[in-house]
Amino acid sequence: MLGKSAATRPKKEKAPRTAPARRPSGRKARPVRSLVILAMVGGLVATVALPAYGAWRAPADALTLQQVAADDAQSLVVASDSANTELARDSYSATTQAEIDQKKAEAAAAEAAAARARLSSSVSAGLPVNIALVSPGTGEVRWPILNFTLGRGLWDSGYHQGVDLLSSCGEPIYATAAGIVSVSQESYGGYGVAISIDHVLGGQSVNSLYGHMTYGSRQVEAGQAVQAGQLIGLVGSTGSSTACHVHFEIHINGTVVDPWAWLQANAG
């Protein structure tokens, strides 16, 4: 036989296939990274270029951010731009004791001058000229009028809250004690021309009221401090009055008391 038959030939064994070797991944990553960098650069360019282009193309009446800020900005004045201003001294507050004493003296002089002017006006209308500016006598409490006749008393007719001291029109009326004027009016209801003064006597809150004075005769104003026996006005017949007299009331701690009994017990 020339050779072995095909059936008996030994078969050639095929070498096992191996998977192709993978290429390093670095080659694919580099193009992707480059694209990202290019995109970022393009974004930065657009961020800078587009606003500049828009500003170049903006219409003439468009407002810029700087213009808006300039409109709302507050101006600043530096020392070199300010001018020296001389302060007026006619309305300043006194700070030293000498200035305080001077101000008090000026205020007292002004009050006295105003009182003399009001009194002169009353005298020129035919009222007495021999009027004492201070009630004679001593003591913390004084009689509000010197020459009088006792008239109606407390609760007369069921409503009278004071005492009527009858006198000639033009007789002086004095503060019954030191205090602060709370009311001074040319028309104070039925009291007519009237003055009311608040006092503190013996630790008590006392209020005295003087009604039916002559028009224009008030010598003190509300808020003014007065001394015991100080002239405050002249007897008249204003308001609900039918004769010349002073209607005098006393309130202690807000309660009406008999002014006649109070005067007899306290007036010097």
Look up the CATH number of the domain holding residue 148.
2.70.70.10
Token pair belonging to 242: 């039918």
Note whether residue 84 is domain-resident. no
The whole-chain average pLDDT of the chain stands at 75
Q: What is the pLDDT of residue 200?
A: 94
Note whether residue 215 is domain-resident. yes
Is 231 in contact with 219 (CB distance < 8 Å)?
Answer: yes
What is the rounded distance in angstroms from the CA atom of residue 181 to the CA atom of residue 70?
58
CA 255 to chain CA centroid, nearest Å: 33
Task: List pLDDT tens digits, range 81-112.
Answer: 445 544 444 545 667 888 888 887 788 777 66
Mean pLDDT of the region 71-89: 48
Note whether residue 217 is domain-resident. yes
pTM of the model: 0.54
Note whether residue 62 is domain-resident. no
What is the rounded distance in angstroms from the CA atom of residue 167 to the CA atom of residue 146?
9
233: domain range?
111-266
Is 184 in contact with 208 (CB distance < 8 Å)?
Answer: no
Note whether residue 83 is domain-resident. no
Helix residue ranges, H only, 10-64: 26-57
What is the rounded distance in angstroms from the CA atom of residue 166 to the CA atom of residue 146?
11
Q: Which residue has the higher pLDDT, 78 or 229?
A: 229
37 pLDDT tier (thresholds 50, 70, 90): confident
Q: What is the pLDDT of residue 2?
A: 44
Domain count, the chain: 1
Note whether residue 85 is domain-resident. no
Mean pLDDT of the region 154-166: 84
Q: Residue 81 gets which letter from DSSP?
A: G
Note whether residue 258 is domain-resident. yes
What is the rounded distance in angstroms from the CA atom of residue 241 to the CA atom of residue 212?
7
Note whether residue 21 is domain-resident. no
